[in-house]
Amino acid sequence: MAEVIDLDGKKRQHEKDRREKAKKRAVAVAGALTCGLCPHRCAHCGLPIKDQVNLPAELNFPLCGICLEEYQAYKRKENGEKGREAFWHTEQWFATWRTWLEYMRTSDEFRRSPAFLKLIHDNKI
């Protein structure tokens, strides 16, 4: 007697697997983009912020006092100031700040986008 293959059951299982995997991916995307937004932790180094500092208006994420000093050094270099304030203020250091700030800006844009809001809504995150 021939074995009966349950094609509908396989299709349902395949669809269920696909939805579960899509949900895990959505949770990972949402988690990656919301990490670092805690108001009591520095968005750059991740350490708890003990003393609140006055941040420049262009920053919409928290920085600790030390990272704020590094950010200000970055901005001075970006504005053409010559020389190094610290031996680690190399071109690579400059590039990490430039790309991190760009990452923070584009992440903020994505978090405000309809696609991200739908991802949050549809997955009840």
Contacts with Zn ion, residue ranges (CB under 5 A): 42, 44-45, 64, 67
Output the smallest distance, CB 103 to Zn ion, in A. Answer: 16
**Nearest residue to 71 (alpha-carbon basis) of 82, 56, 88:** 56
How many other CB atoms sit within 10 Å of the CB of residue 17? 10
Residue closer to Zn ion by CB (options 28, 45) is: 45
Residue closer to Zn ion by CB (options 26, 67) is: 67
Residue closer to Zn ion by CB (options 26, 63) is: 63
Q: Kindly state the tokens that stand for 79.
A: 């504005």
How many other CB atoms sit within 10 Å of the CB of residue 57? 6
Output the smallest distance, CB 112 to Zn ion, in A. Answer: 24
- To 5 degrees, how large is the angle CA 92–CA 95–CA 96? 90
Distance of alpha carbon 51 from alpha carbon 63, whole angstroms: 10
Output the smallest distance, CB 42 to Zn ion, in A. Answer: 3
> Which SS3 state, helix, strand or coil, does residue 41 take?
strand
Output the smallest distance, CB 67 to Zn ion, in A. Answer: 3
Residue closer to Zn ion by CB (options 67, 73) is: 67
